[in-house]
Structure 1
Amino acid sequence: MHTLTQLQTGQLSGITRLKLSCGLTEFPQEIFDLADSLEILDLSGNLLDTLPADLNRLTRLRVLFCSDNRFVELPECLGRCSALTMVGFKANRIERVTGAALPPLLRWLILTDNCISQLPEELGRRPHLQKLMLAGNRLRQLPQSLAQCHRLELLRVSANQLAELPSWLLEMPSLSWLAYAGNPLEAEANAQALHVATPIDWSQLSLQQSLGEGASGVIHQALWQTPGQAGRDVAVKLYKGQMTSDGSPLHEMHACITAGKHPNLIEVLGQVNGHPEHQEGLVMALIGPDYRNLAGLPSLESCTRDVYPDELRLRADVAVRIAQGIARVAGHLHRRGLTHGDLYGHNILCNDQGDCLLGDFGAASFHAPVDDRQTRALQRIEVRAFGILLGELLARIEPASSIEDLSRLKDLEARCCQPDVLARPGFDEIEGLLH
């Protein structure tokens, strides 16, 4: 975090990244003094409602964040920024988005938690578009021109007012991570899948240290003490209740419960009951310290791809064991009318033997439990995400590993990622091939 004083006194000359969050009501003109170097500008958490018309003077600007401000329209000056590829205006008051506001090299657009009811057809004329985050708006339809965005891989449209998913969306060749929970189109399938977890009284839980915090909530280690029984160490996730980039945290909780029991899922023991501040929460099995995240979150540069440690190498049997576990649990979810929506290495916990657990249901969505064209397409979109994961695992197998079926696994990766959505295998077939 930088200060306005540092900017105004010239102390930041030559920097490539600038972050200012200090109650700004106007765009500081001194930012233009950084035009020769500034690539990433973060003005989130201020009181801004406009940007200067000549923002394109920042000729090297690639990334702009203006979340948590007071914009009511996406500024059209963005469209004149020739190097701008990532735009983030989450949690503003945006109602209007015009084609003129979309930069020509747009790759990643975040408009989560606004008041947008319509998007311009020009959005589909941005051929580099790869990641589009629109959860928590008022959209009743998507621009048909999006069908031309053949590079689009991640789409978040949860918590809008969509009555159906357009057929062209289910045919997009690169789409891999799709979230649409909380729309009217999902309501019927959601109701059919309704499950209730065992209530666990808040008075029986003693929170201990925090284990981590995500967009949807905070996870604590806790002691669960039921009358007349020995205490049990558990994990308690308390949901924040705010809109995240994936959708509503309460939808996440419902999906987590509906997922049920499976060896490759973190077991849900019950639902928090009687929290003094009426906070929703789940009580889950505590995972041992030998489990770790397989990968890190995507970066600004990688966009839709996880970041793995440079030094990570896997034995062939460990890589295959991870792939088998994830294929099994993904198939289990699909049979329960649920797509995970975020099938990524950063949502997988694994140990050195390849035992793995799939977590984070923030992007999960329900579909009708019938075998029709739409259901198969929704499931095969997730198969492409698995294919990408399989390729990432294969790329990290130790050179000395001996595996006769490596070519078969690469063929499976190619089949999972092929552009013809319905020609991809389902997880039942994938499970059989991996065994």
Structure 2
Amino acid sequence: MSHRSAFSLEAVFREEYGQLLATLVGRFGDLDLAEDATSDALEAALSRWPVDGVPSRPGAWLLTTARRRAVDRLRRDQAYAAKLAVLQVEQDRAFLSPVSGPVDGGLPDERLQLFFTCAHPALAPDDRIAITLRTLAGLTTTEVARAFLIPSSTAGQRISRAKHKIRVARIPFRVPDRHEMAQRLPGVLQVVYSIFTEGYSASSGENLIRTDLAEEAIRLGRILHGLLPAEREATGLLSLMLCTHARRSARAGKDGEIVMLGEQDRRLWDREMIDEGRALVVLALTGGSPGPYGVQAAIAALHDEAIDAESTDWPQIAELYGVLATIAPSPIVSLNRAAAIALCEGPGAGLELMEALSTEPLLKNYYPYLCARADLLARLDRWLEAARWFECAFGLAGSEPEKKFVQRRLSACYRNASSAPEDTLEV
């Protein structure tokens, strides 16, 4: 296969997979069948594209092929005979026609429809989010595991369990009504934010950012905000993603290595996106007690408002993390609060709080925790201790930029340790 064909197939898979699967599930009402047909279509592309060339509309090509493979599977499987008998198969042209407006239930996006479907209350909360991320968002099992801070094997079990429940309980693939939609919204918001998080900081690969995922999450966030403008958490999530994604151009250096927030060239930040996000955070925080996404959006907006790292309002950011710890407590929130306090009260105060988190199971193999703790030790000139934590972090770094970043910090620790007076070295 030529490099162009391989790259094109990878790009189509990344961009079209979730929409393709959602369309097939909506058409045939069977997740396993849709996944099998999608896989068949991708295999066909692997064999055909190197010979025939990449089609001008690769997504449409995959959809037509997948639909035909699904029908072939139904014909071969006697268990689906009754379903096939009542299935009205449209012509390709009609099947591929774009949706001109909102469809059943007011959701103008087939994938978003399936997000709400997979948020069915019959599924355990973690299971429903895991299967949505894996099947409809197109994240790998490893990426799903990262979103939950769990082993890949555990993520795989959650996905399998959700599929089994859908099949056995015969959960219908339909758009929920408005009442059900509101009940399922928190799970959908979590899925969209998990997609954004993977795009913002890729868990593997050569690039720090997967812009396609981040922008897809923002697109879905805009749909949710437009569909449910009174839902302040939908507004807060969109604000959070915009305020964060606005910094994308400054997050990596020329060699692709990570540039930390305090060292970023803020002239590269997208001011138009920041302004939009800041306007939305006001709406998210108006009209009642704040929600978790609204508070996180306020924190992101404070970062964006500062003209440089020194002028950042760290005391207010630390206070907001305290609020977040009250309404949505988690070890990650506590870690971020400790980092903010370190910048308010000094690295010693932040390190004390981070050390108190050392027994948290979720943080044991959490790369950012290890790096944050190492960084505070380095700022206290405890170079050898910092080096040991950076060594642990290196083993958990996923993407190449993360590995390069940790390696650079690790080397700096050893250089500083070797040049420090002997009586100042920590043991």
TM-based fold match above 0.5: no
Q: Which has the higher strand share?
A: 1
The alignment's TM-score, normalised by the length of structure 2, stands at 0.26
Q: Which has the higher helix share?
A: 2
Larger Cα Rg: Structure 1 or Structure 2?
2
The alignment's TM-score, normalised by the length of structure 1, stands at 0.26
